[in-house]
Structure 1
Amino acid sequence: MTEDQILGLITQNIVLVLGAIFIVVIILKGIKIVPQSEKYVVERFGRLHSVLGPGINFIVPFLDVARHKISILERQLPNATQDAITKDNVLVQIDTSVFYRILEPEKTVYRIRDVDGAIATTVAGIVRAEIGKMDLDEVQSNRAQLIGQIQHSVETAVDDWGIEVTRAEILDVNLDQATRDAMLQQLNAERARRAQVTEAEGQKRSVELQADAELYAAEQTAKARRIQAEAEAYATEVVAKAIAENGIEAAQYQVALKQVESLNALGNGSGKQTIVLPANAIEAFGDAFKMLKGGK
């Protein structure tokens, strides 16, 4: 084999090797494997051509270029603090945190330069606007409602950037020292007022219970008197009936019974005493004893 043939063979082999390398490069350039957490923005001649999703994708080598590789993972903005004035003119400091993710990378790439800065500025403006619509008490008590309003407003504002706001949080609401002192005084005054109201209600309840007790006692006394009066009326009715049926003897019997009861009461008195009775009283008691024996 001559020297020219050897050179020709070497040249041919080099060409084949270069051709193989070129084909491999073309294949590698035409295949794009996109990770699950990313999307690629492809440009052709400097203009948007397509967006590649996760997995194996094919492009035209040397014409199509994956210019931007965008993460679609959820992101969190750094916690931010901004001043705001409530509807009742109270200065507050709001600590916020925002989470978002990119849904349409082509919009994010070509419509906004600093995504985080733009969202932070938008959130600050919306927070001030929403706080200005509410009193301080509403800000403190309706935090969930306020967060919902802020998230909705932010979502509307960043919709043209291909971004989804997944969550917006108000971490804290801080007040200046003067406002804190005023609120503390108000809180102490409210506690004192509640204590006075509680004490007054206790006294009122005590008076009501005392009145109820007195009313109950009066009702029971009246009831006892009514029962006693009914008993006396019944006894009188019995006596009257006996007199009507037996005549004067029944009346004399009742008188004699009362005389004996009176004598027993005098005799059962405390201490030693001497009872002096007139003779006619003794005769009367004797008649009463006779009638009692006769009645028995």
Structure 2
Amino acid sequence: MPFSGFDILIPVLVVLVLFLIFAGIKTVPQGHNYTVERFGRYTRTLTPGLNLIVPFIDRVGARMNMMEQVLDVPTQEVITKDNAIVSVDGVAFYQVLNAAQSAYQVSGLENAILNLTMTNIRSVMGSMDLDELLSNRDAINDRLLRIVDDAASPWGIKMTRVEIKDINPPKNLVDSMARQMMAERDRRAEILVAEGRKQAQILEAEGRKEAAFRDAEARERAAEAEARATQMVSEAIAKGDVQAINYFVAQKYTEAMAAIGSATNSKIVLMPLEASSLIGSLGGIGAIAKEVFSEDAQQIRTQRAAGRTPTVSPDQSR
């Protein structure tokens, strides 16, 4: 049976409608945004999921990745403030926040971010000394992130991280730094040794000072005891006590004999001595000592009888 023109038109129309429907359906994957252009002009942005556009009038412009992305910054040479040449490389992380701005505000987004980062690395690191450069990497990263993020914000992106991976000075410079480090450590060690010697000398001087003070105190007390003893002997002599006179003479006689006997050039000493006089003097010493000890014992018994703690004067304890 021959087909009429109407029978042919219906299937063609059905196919055309289906084609238009499929042409107007756009599926955007998660993590991406598509821009829509109508006759070459941006109109709207398609978000993830199923979207409809007008076929032949609207078309998909730029397909933008909205996930965080990473760019490797290639190695470049940087001249520091103190004219040291170092090789530096890094890495930059960014995320597209506005698909339309990223698509239409800059041509070649990744290339623009890469060149912007490299330029600012040279600018920031070139304004620092080498020692500051090697010891303040965190400060460099923060400063780079702030500068690059401010410069790239009109492009609809957010710089999340800018990190310096490696800083490589020349080999001769590394050797010089190692020698400088060793010299600094030697200097610190010498300072510590000097500080230790200083403290030891201070402690030794303090010890000598304390010993001299105690020696002086001991001599002072010995002198007081000697004066007290001399006073007691003088009082006894004044009272006419012959034993006291014998004690005083025997004491001085004994000291003189000890001095003569201790001389290095004296081997044999010949002196006219009377044994009876010496024995009498020694007897006087014993009598005085017995008298003193008996007085002390009597005083202790008296104090104990009175219920007090017995006390003995320093002169009596001698």
TM range (shorter): 0.7 to 0.9
Letter in 2 for 1:90: A
**Structure 1 residues 42 and 232, CA gap change in structure 2 (3 angstroms):** same
Letter in 2 for 1:224: A
Deviation at 1:198, TM superposition (A): 3.4
Partner Cα distance (1:254, 1:90) in 2: 94
**Structure 1 residues 108 and 242, CA gap change in structure 2 (3 angstroms):** same
Q: Deviations over 1:78-105 (max 9, x none)?
A: 2411111111111111111111121122
Match of 2:139 in 1: 145
Partner Cα distance (1:34, 1:63) in 2: 19
Partner Cα distance (2:243, 2:224) in 1: 22
Say whether the 8 Å CA contact 1:41–1:51 is kept in structure 2: yes
Q: Are 1:70 and 2:64 matched, yes or no?
A: yes
Say whether the 8 Å CA contact 1:257–1:292 is kept in structure 2: no
Deviation at 1:242, TM superposition (A): 5.2
Moved more, 246-255 or 100-109: 246-255
Match of 2:185 in 1: 191
- Kindly report which structure 2 residues correspond to 1:1-296, keeping only aligned pairs within 5 A, or say none: 3=1, 7-8=3-4, 12=7, 15-240=9-234, 246-249=239-242, 251-252=244-245, 254-255=247-248, 258=251, 278-279=273-274, 282-283=276-277, 285-286=279-280, 289=283
Partner Cα distance (1:110, 1:80) in 2: 26
Say whether the 8 Å CA contact 1:260–1:288 is kept in structure 2: no
Say whether the 8 Å CA contact 1:81–1:96 is kept in structure 2: yes
Deviation at 1:139, TM superposition (A): 0.8
Moved more, 235-244 or 175-184: 235-244
Q: Secondary structure at the match of 2:166?
A: strand
Alignment gaps of 5+ in structure 1: 266-272
**Structure 1 residues 256 and 91, CA gap change in structure 2 (3 angstroms):** closer
**Structure 1 residues 214 and 287, CA gap change in structure 2 (3 angstroms):** closer
Q: Name the count of aligned residue pairs.
A: 281
**Structure 1 residues 30 and 258, CA gap change in structure 2 (3 angstroms):** same
**Structure 1 residues 62 and 243, CA gap change in structure 2 (3 angstroms):** farther
**Structure 1 residues 290 and 104, CA gap change in structure 2 (3 angstroms):** closer
Say whether the 8 Å CA contact 1:131–1:139 is kept in structure 2: yes
* Identity across the alignment (%): 35
Deviation at 1:53, TM superposition (A): 1.6
RMSD: 3.5
Say whether the 8 Å CA contact 2:243–2:287 is kept in structure 1: no
Partner Cα distance (2:38, 2:236) in 1: 134
TM-score (norm 2): 0.74
Say whether the 8 Å CA contact 2:250–2:278 is kept in structure 1: no
TM-score (norm 1): 0.78
Partner Cα distance (2:157, 2:284) in 1: 123
Say whether the 8 Å CA contact 1:256–1:285 is kept in structure 2: no
Partner Cα distance (2:155, 2:190) in 1: 59
Match of 2:264 in 1: none
Q: Deviations over 1:169-216 (max 9, x none)?
A: 011111122322332332333333334333433433343333333323
Say whether the 8 Å CA contact 2:78–2:86 is kept in structure 1: yes
Letter in 1 for 2:65: S
**Structure 1 residues 45 and 293, CA gap change in structure 2 (3 angstroms):** closer
Say whether the 8 Å CA contact 1:38–1:69 is kept in structure 2: yes
Q: Secondary structure at the match of 1:97?
A: strand
Say whether the 8 Å CA contact 2:250–2:281 is kept in structure 1: no
Deviation at 1:72, TM superposition (A): 1.0
Partner Cα distance (1:189, 1:287) in 2: 78
